Amino acid sequence: PQPIFRKDYRRPDYTIDRVDLRFELGENFTTVHASLAVRRMHDTPAGAPLVLDGENLVLKRVAIDGRELPADHYVAGPTSLTIADPGAAFTLTTVVEIRPQDNLELSGLYRSSGNFCTQCEAEGFRRITYFLDRPDVMARYSVVVEADRARYPVLLANGNRVETGELDGGRHFARWDDPFPKPCYLFALVAGDLRCHDGEFVTRSGRTVRLEIWVEPDNIDRCAHALRSLQAAMRWDEDTFGREYDLDIYMIVAVSDFNMGAMENKGLNIFNAKYVLARPDTATDDDYDGIESVIAHEYFHNWTGNRVTCRDWFQLTLKEGLTVFRDRLFSADMGSPAVARIGDVLALRTNQFAEDSGPMAHPIRPESYIEMNNFYTTTVYEKGAEVIGMMRTLLGAAGFRRGMDLYFERHDGQAVTCDDFRAALADANGVDLEQFGRWYSQVGTPVVRARGDYDAAARAYTLTLEQAPPRGRDGGELLHIPVAVGLLGPDGPLALRLSEETAASGDTRVLELRERSRSFRFEDVPAAPVASLLRGFSAPVELEVERSDADLARLMAADPDEFSRWDAGQELARRVLLRLAGDVEAGRELALDREFVAACARILGDERFDGSLKALALTLPNERLLGQQQQVVAVDALHAARQFAVRALARALREPLLAVYKATAPQGPYRIERAEVDRRKLRNLALGYLVALGEPDLIRLAVEQFELSDNMTDSEAALACLIDHGGPERDSALARFHARWHKDPLVLDKWFALQAVSTHPDTLDRVLALADHPDFNLLNPNRARSLLGAFGLRNQHQFHRQDGRGHALVADKVLALDPHNPQVAARLVAAFNPWRRFDAARQQSMRAQLERIAAQPGLSKSVREIVDRALA
């Protein structure tokens, strides 16, 4: 397959203004009748052919303005329907047959748990009917859904339900009209036996919107949190961005087979059940947070994505980076901003930095792709959100809001580009964001170097910032980088005065680095300070600065910025662990740094930290993050070092940890509220350390917690400890968990995932056995991800075993899955992307698996693109 290039964008020759669809849903096949009001664009030459996209469609009829088209007027190929010289404006009617029940790719119209549902982004609509399947074709839709009433009592589509009725043979229908023009990727249809948890929302202009959450009947008692989250998101978007919902109904449907997290179809979101269903005994605190943020994310798309959409798929970050940014602001407002920011940065550094330094590195606005689905990446989403965040930092909250208002005012109802967005922000604020625009084309993680010089005589501190290209890449254009900075004096944070300022104020400055190197001079600095750099992670860069362990310990204790306190602690921990890994490799005796232990002890007892912050601060950097700091990832040494450090820390802090564990015992039934979440986070952190000591009494704590807890947060945490520990306690806990939850897919996914990420040395053999377990189903994306995704992408030590068996297992499953669901197979094969970062034996093993996959006849273009890039 040939790549598609951004530079080759051309507007379409024809457009479609109205779409009338009729779906006759059946058990053996489904018939789709489409009538499209097509118009030739004014500068398209008369006689130009109309080329519609279509895949896996059986064409039954094609007519223009009601007249059958003679066979020599059109060509139906495997991916298109071409109509010669169709005229300037006409109605094109097609009838096609499709087979949703055989659609395991889960793109287009498919079946999940016996119900019908759709997924059209990015290019799934062409698997439903012939169409101009591109986001810059926006049309109004009217949709009739017909189906057997007994099997499919609920019939949903986008917009407002305008008609329902009975048909012969026990069938019924519903007609839905969507008044808003939309690209076809936002089309949705659902038919099934579902129950509704409903509510309402009164908008700020006084309209009442009906809210409906549709789920399989057994799940009706798990919808309350999703509904509350939706209401909170609707209020927040009004308050924060002045955005009001625009239809009279907002529906969410939860399905069990879904390739991603959720989909923002206009008025009818379709969700992976994982991001809807929650009950205290089935969902963890993190699941509750995940639901809140994904519900909000899809809701926010109504303005950033649906009302204003993307001109082409290269602009994906226009809607995704911006909407992730908006959902992050929302989550920060709903909970603790520092905890939210730490979670985001941890994920960015672990996943996006890795992507940016591997074969899939691409700008947030890619220049080319073969399979668009491969570009729903952490770079487009999370780095994209960082880029938006930097603009907000530069413009301030009020300036950013002005820019957003102008963006909506200018572009409501349009399909636009990232440049249009940036222009709106710049114009609304009268600023120049030209240089900043380079972030949209930039590849890799830039480096910022910092150096500080204190002049005691002048009481001045000069901070020199320098930007450098990402490691391993040279050249590149100079970026516009906001670096948030503070200074810590002997008695704490200093009020800052830059040399161009007249008076000192505040303890943070956002320094703008546009040059290769620039110095900033701070005045009235009483003694050599410690600089707190990149506060709040103000730019997605790697920071290089010489700091002693003592400087880091000081920042860890005294930086007023909670994020930076955490970050300093992580940097210190990283150093300690990398030194230990060196000791492992050199065969030296291991000892945990005493200063580090003391710093951890201080955090445990520090009243300024809440439980969640303490847990984050006391969680050692994961092995993948540590590996990123090494030239050649020392898989076994890193694992040994981290395992050693966990136990050594647990030994040193045994008594305070035990005291924390006891003091944080639950005082009543589970409540999903902030203080309780903090309490559980801290308690489960303490449990993890204590169980790592392997003492029977401490293992007993986990067994008791597992047996007595009334909620999934505590049960799962205890089970995770027991799985890592191994032994009979592991087996009996796993058996009990399975017996209780084997009929509950989302909970059983946890059972698979916990075993797949275990640090226990027998993990690979257990994962192999689990892949043959009767409850394992490779074709269900959640289940495949819970076992294989967790193993291949999150368990560095076991996946990269020296003997190559981990690699072989994942490659086998990629090959087995690819013929059915290439999208999920392509995500899994990405586990091999970092192969060049490992030692020769591991490189050889991974390369051999990549070559085996590449040699597979009939490999999908999704997997082929990833593998070819990895091997290039």
| Binding residues for Zn ion (CB under 5 A) | 320, 323
Considering the rule CB under 6 A, would residue 119 count as an interface residue with ligand HT7?
yes
Report in angstroms how near the CB of residue 262 gets to ligand HT7 at its nearest.
6
Report in angstroms how near the CB of residue 440 gets to Zn ion at its nearest.
18
Contacted entry of Zn ion, ligand HT7, none for residue 263, CB cut-off 5 to 8 Å set by kind? ligand HT7
Token pair recorded at residue 183:
């690209």
695 has catalytic annotation? no
- Secondary structure letter of residue 314 according to DSSP: G
Report in angstroms how near the CB of residue 324 gets to Zn ion at its nearest.
7
Cα distance between residue 146 and residue 152, in whole Å:
9
Contacted entry of Zn ion, ligand HT7, none for residue 376, CB cut-off 5 to 8 Å set by kind? ligand HT7
Q: Which residues of 119-155 are buried (b: 16+ CB within 10 A; e: fewer)?
A: bbbbbbbbbbbbbbbbbbbbbbbbbbbbbbeebbebb
User: Which helix (H) or strand (E) element contains residue 159?
Assistant: none
Report in angstroms how near the CB of residue 371 gets to ligand HT7 at its nearest.
10
* CB 620, CB 645: distance < 8 Å: yes
Which residue type does 456 have? A
Query: Beta strands of 42-148 (E only): which ranges?
Result: 50-53, 58-64, 67-68, 74-76, 80-83, 89-98, 108-112, 115-119, 138-148
Considering the rule CB under 6 A, would residue 623 count as an interface residue with ligand HT7?
no
Considering the rule CB under 6 A, would residue 572 count as an interface residue with ligand HT7?
no
CB-count exposure of residue 549 (10 Å: 0-12, 13-18, 19+): middle
The residue from 122, 273, 479, 809 that contacts ligand HT7 (CB under 6 A) is 122
Among positions 325-384, residues that touch ligand HT7 (CB under 6 A) are 373, 376
DSSP string, 480-537: -EEEEEEEEETTEEPPB-BTT-SS-B-S-EEEEE-SSEEEEEE----S--EEEESTT-
Contacting range for ligand HT7; rule: CB under 6 A; set: 56-64, 262-270, 393-401, 581-589: 262-270
Nearer to ligand HT7, 259 or 684 (CB): 259
CA distances from 158 to 38, 147, 178, 350, 613 (A): 21, 17, 6, 37, 42
Considering the rule CB under 6 A, would residue 260 count as an interface residue with ligand HT7?
yes
* CB 130, CB 53: distance < 8 Å: yes
Report in angstroms how near the CB of residue 120 gets to ligand HT7 at its nearest.
9
Nearer to ligand HT7, 723 or 824 (CB): 824
Q: How far is CA 47 from the centre of its chain?
A: 45
Considering the rule CB under 6 A, would residue 796 count as an interface residue with ligand HT7?
no
DSSP string, 710-770: SSHHHHHHHHHHHHHH-HHHHHHHHHHHHHHHTT-HHHHHHHHHHHHT--STTHHHHHHHH
Contacting range for ligand HT7; rule: CB under 6 A; set: 61-69, 131-139, 192-200, 257-265: 257-265
Contacted entry of ligand HT7, Zn ion, none for residue 119, CB cut-off 5 to 8 Å set by kind? ligand HT7
Nearer to ligand HT7, 24 or 53 (CB): 53
The residue from 216, 298, 312, 571 that contacts ligand HT7 (CB under 6 A) is 298
Torsion of CA 99, 103, 109, 110, to 10 degrees: 100
Q: How far is CA 152 from the centre of its chain?
A: 32
Token pair recorded at residue 239:
């308050």
Give the HSE-up count for residue 405: Cα atoms under 13 Å, Cβ half-sphere: 12
Report in angstroms how near the CB of residue 374 gets to ligand HT7 at its nearest.
9
Report in angstroms how near the CB of residue 297 gets to Zn ion at its nearest.
5
Considering the rule CB under 6 A, would residue 785 count as an interface residue with ligand HT7?
no
Catalytic residue from among 24, 146, 298, 571: 298
Which residue type does 13 have? D
Nearer to Zn ion, 178 or 320 (CB): 320
Which residue type does 541 have? V
Contacted entry of Zn ion, ligand HT7, none for residue 260, CB cut-off 5 to 8 Å set by kind? ligand HT7
Number of residues lying near ligand HT7 (CB under 6 A)? 15
Contacting range for ligand HT7; rule: CB under 6 A; set: 297-305, 392-400, 491-499, 844-852: 297-305
Which residue type does 283 have? A
Report in angstroms how near the CB of residue 269 gets to ligand HT7 at its nearest.
9
Nearer to ligand HT7, 264 or 551 (CB): 264
DSSP H helices, 757-804, are: 763-770, 781-784, 790-794, 796-799
Plot region of 534 (φ>0 → left; ψ -120 to 50 → alpha; else → beta): left
Considering the rule CB under 6 A, would residue 123 count as an interface residue with ligand HT7?
no
Is cis: bond before 645, omega within 30 of 0?
no
- Secondary structure letter of residue 632 according to DSSP: S
Considering the rule CB under 6 A, would residue 292 count as an interface residue with ligand HT7?
no
* CB 600, CB 619: distance < 8 Å: no
Contacted entry of Zn ion, ligand HT7, none for residue 190, CB cut-off 5 to 8 Å set by kind? none
Considering the rule CB under 6 A, would residue 682 count as an interface residue with ligand HT7?
no
Closest residue to ligand HT7: CB criterion: 260
Contacting range for ligand HT7; rule: CB under 6 A; set: 75-83, 205-213, 294-302, 427-435: 294-302
Considering the rule CB under 6 A, would residue 259 count as an interface residue with ligand HT7?
yes
Nearer to Zn ion, 318 or 555 (CB): 318
Considering the rule CB under 6 A, would residue 263 count as an interface residue with ligand HT7?
yes
Report in angstroms how near the CB of residue 185 gets to Zn ion at its nearest.
12
The residue from 24, 55, 105, 121 that contacts ligand HT7 (CB under 6 A) is 121
Contacted entry of Zn ion, ligand HT7, none for residue 121, CB cut-off 5 to 8 Å set by kind? ligand HT7
- Which residue numbers are catalytic? 298
Q: List residues near ligand HT7 by CB under 6 A.
A: 119, 121-122, 259-260, 262-264, 297-298, 301, 320, 373, 376, 823
